[in-house]
A and B are shown apart, each in its own frame.
Chain A
Amino acid sequence: MKSYRYLHGILILSLLCIVLVACDNTAIFYTLEKAYKTSDDRGLDDTASVLKIVYTGAGGKYFINAQSVYQRDPGTTANWQLVTPPASGALCGGLEYFDGDIVAWFYNSSDRKPVGLYSRDPSSAPGDPWTEITDDSWPTDNDWPDLRFSIHFVKAAGTELFVSTAVYHADESDPDYKETFYNLYYASSITGIDDFYPCFGTDLDSTILDVEWDGSDYWLITNPDASGVYLYQNTVSGDPSDFSDFGAGSPDFSYNSDDPQGTLYTPHSLYFASGRLYLSGWHGRIYFHDGLNWSTWDGDPETVTVNKRDYTVQFRGFVESVPSGQIFVGSSTYGYYSFSDSLPGPVSAADLTRQPAQSLYEYPPIELVNGAITSFLLNTDEDPDVLFACTAGAGLWRGDWDTTKWVWVQE
C-alpha cells in the first residue's frame, strides 16, 4: 500500500515536471489582452493567393491580381469587387497600372493557353469590357500546336511598360526538340496596336524574372544561364532597347557548399529606393547597387531553424516602409524581413530582422510570420498610411500605420 502511495506521488510529480518543461515563455493572459481582431473582411477569400496589388493614384482605386482581378476604392469601408474577365474562364497572369490604364495578361484556366493582353480605364465599372492590346512583335496564333506563347510578368519601370515573354517551341516530327525562347518587350505608351519593342535582338534561353529602373539605368535579371549570367544592364543609359550582361562585379549566385542543403541560387526581385537598387535572392542574401558597385554579402545566408535543421530564406519582393524608415523584403516561407533604409548594409544576415519583430502571439497574425509574402504596396495617400502585403494562400493583408508600427488586418 505504501509503495502504491510512492508510485502515485512519483507519477504526479513526473506529470508536473512534464507540464513545467513544456511551458512556453509567452504570458498567455497578457497576450490575449493585447490581441486585436485581425480580420477586416472586404470580401476577399482569406485563402486567396494574391500576386500583386497596384494603386492608380490619388482619387483612384486599388486593383489586385488574385488570378481574378478585383478592384476597390481606398478608404475604411470599401469592398473588393470582381472585375469581369475578358473571356469566360480567363485567369490573370500579370497586372500593372501604366499610362493611365490598367494592363493585364490573361490565360485560359483550362489549358493555360493565352487569352491575351488587355487594358481598361481604371474608372470603369467592374462589368465593363476590357480592350485587347495586339502586337505583331510576338506570336499570338494559338491554333499552331507546336508553339505556345505566354507572358511571365507585366511591370512598369521608369517611363516604360515591360512584358516578359516566353515562346515554347516543339516539333511534332522531332519529339526531342523542345525549346523556350524568352524576351522582354517595352512600350512607352499604350495605344492598343503594335506598342511594344523587343529589349533583346536575340531571344534569351533563361526566364526573365524582373526589370527595374534606378533613376538613370534599366536593369533586368533572369534565371542564371549555363554560364551563370543572370544580370543585365541597358547598353545605353536610359534606353531599354538593348541590354548587355553586366559581367564582372555581379553579385554572387554561385553554389556555396557552406550553405544549407537545398539552397537555390536564383535571383528574384529588383527594387529601387533611397538611391539604391536592391536585388533579392532565393539563396538567403540581399545585394544593392549604390550607383557605382554592387555590394558583397559577408558570411552565411539568412536561415531559419526548424526542428534543429537550418533552411535558407528565399527572399522575394521589396518595399520601402517609409513611415518606419525600413526596407521590407518578403520571403517564400518565413514572412518578411526588414533592414534600416539608412544602414550602410545590408551586408550580412545580422543586418536583417524577421518581422513582425514582436514575439509570436503578441499579436502578429501567424500568416505573416510563417507565410509566403509575394509582394508589397505602400500607399501614403491614405490616412493613416497603409501597407499591403500580398500572400500566397493567405489572402491580402493591410497594415495600418499607428505611428509606431504596422497593425496588420486581413482583407
Chain B
Amino acid sequence: MPKKLIIVLLAALLFFYLSAGPVFTQEAPEEAPPEEPFIVYSLGQQTLSISAGLFIPLFFQSFDWEYAKTNLKLGAVGSLQWGIHLSNNWMTGLEVGGVLSKDINDASFFMLPITAKAAYIIHFFPFEFPIFVGTGLNIVKLEDVLNLTWIIKPGFSSIWKYNINWGFGLNVVYWWVPQFWSDDRDKGRMGNFLELTLTAQYNF
C-alpha cells in the first residue's frame, strides 16, 4: 500500500512537470526579454491550503544520541493552513494539522500540531517552490495518555499554479518533536517523522 501511494505521488509530480512543458514551449518568446522579477503575490494577499497524505514514522533519538525505532505504523496526516504574503517571496501563517497512526499493538496514536509558519517562495512559473519552517505546540496522544510537546517542521513544497487562484502540489515536511522529560531525563526522546502530502491552495 505505501509503495502504491508513493508511486501515485511520483506520478502526480511527473504529470505536473510534463503539463508544464507545453506551457513553456507555447509561451516562450523567440527572443528572451530582459529578465524581470515575476510578481505573483503582494503584501496582504492570503492563501488557504489543505493537505492530506502519508505520515512516515522515522525514528526516536534519545538525548544521549541513541537511535531507536518508533514502533509506529505508517499513518495518515492532514492539515489546514492560512498564510498571508508579506511580499512576492515571503509568507507567514498558521497551520493546524493532525496525525493518525497505530502502534505495533494497534493502540491509537494521535498528534495535533498547531504551528506558526514562515515560508520563502521560489518562483519558476508555473511552479512555486516554498521552503518553510513551522514551530509551535504539539498535542500527542497514545490511547488515553496525553502529552504536550514542542515541534519544529521544516520542509518544502512543489506547487503547480493552475491559475491565478489555485495551485496544486506536493509537500515534504520533516517533523522534529523533542519530548523533554524533567521527571526522568532518561525518558526524554526526540521524535523524527516525515510528512508526504498532496496539497491544494487557494489564493485571494
Contact = CB atoms under 8 A, between A and B. Distances in A.
Asked if A pairs with B, the answer is yes
Interface of A: 16, 19-20, 22-33, 35-39, 360-361, 365
Interface string B174-195: 0001010101100111110000
B68 A361 contact: no
B188 A28 contact: no
Contacts of A25: 183
Contact of B105 (A19, A20, A22, A35): A35
B187 A38 contact: no
Most buried by A among B103, B145, B177: B145
A361 B147 contact: no
B150 to A, nearest CB: 13
Contacts of B39: none
Contact of A28 (B68, B137, B179): B179
Interface of B: 60, 68-72, 103-105, 107, 109, 137, 139-143, 145-148, 177, 179, 181, 183-184, 187-191
Given A27-B187, A32-B70, A16 B137 contact: yes
Given A24-B147, A36-B104, 11 more contacts: A19-B137, A19-B146, A23-B146, A24-B146, A27-B188, A29-B190, A30-B179, A32-B60, A32-B72, A32-B142, A35-B105
B191 A37 contact: no
30 contacts: A19-B137, A23-B146, A23-B147, A24-B145, A24-B146, A24-B147, A26-B145, A27-B147, A27-B179, A27-B181, A27-B184, A27-B187, A28-B142, A28-B145, A29-B140, A29-B177, A30-B179, A30-B187, A31-B142, A32-B60, A32-B71, A32-B72, A33-B71, A35-B104, A35-B107, A36-B104, A38-B105, A361-B142, A361-B145, A365-B105
B105 A37 contact: yes
Contacts of A36: 104
A361 B143 contact: yes
Contacts of B141: 28
Nearest to B180: A27
A20 B187 CA distance: 19
A37 B142 CA distance: 16
Q: How would you classify the secondary structure of chain B's contact residues: helix, strand, loop or mixed?
A: strand
Contact of A23 (B72, B148, B191): B148
B188 A33 contact: no
B143 A33 contact: no
A361 B177 CA distance: 20
Contacts of B190: 29
A257 B200 CA distance: 67
A226 to B, nearest CB: 46
A30 B140 CA distance: 13
Nearest to A12: B114
A127 to B, nearest CB: 34
A256 B75 CA distance: 53
**Nearest 6 Cβ contacts at the A-B interface:** A29-B189, A30-B187, A27-B187, A35-B71, A24-B145, A28-B142
A35 B142 CA distance: 12
Contacts of B104: 35-37
A33 B68 contact: yes
Contacts of B179: 27-30
A27 to B, nearest CB: 4
Nearest to B143: A361
Nearest to A16: B137
B147 A30 contact: no
Contacts of A28: 109, 140-142, 145, 147, 179
Given A361-B143, A361-B145, A29 B60 contact: yes
B103 A35 contact: yes
Contacts of B187: 27, 30
A15 to B, nearest CB: 9
Contacts of A19: 137, 139, 146, 148
A26 B147 CA distance: 8
A22 B60 contact: no
Given A19-B139, A25-B183, A32 B105 contact: no
A84 to B, nearest CB: 33
Contacts of B107: 35
Nearest to B70: A32
Contacts of A35: 71, 103-105, 107
Residue of B105, B181, B183 with highest tally of chain A CB at under 10 A: B105
A328 B100 CA distance: 38
A359 to B, nearest CB: 10
A20 B70 CA distance: 24
Contacts of A27: 147, 179, 181, 184, 187-189
Nearest to A359: B145
B103 A32 contact: yes
Contacts of A26: 145, 147
Contacts of A365: 105
Contacts of A22: 146
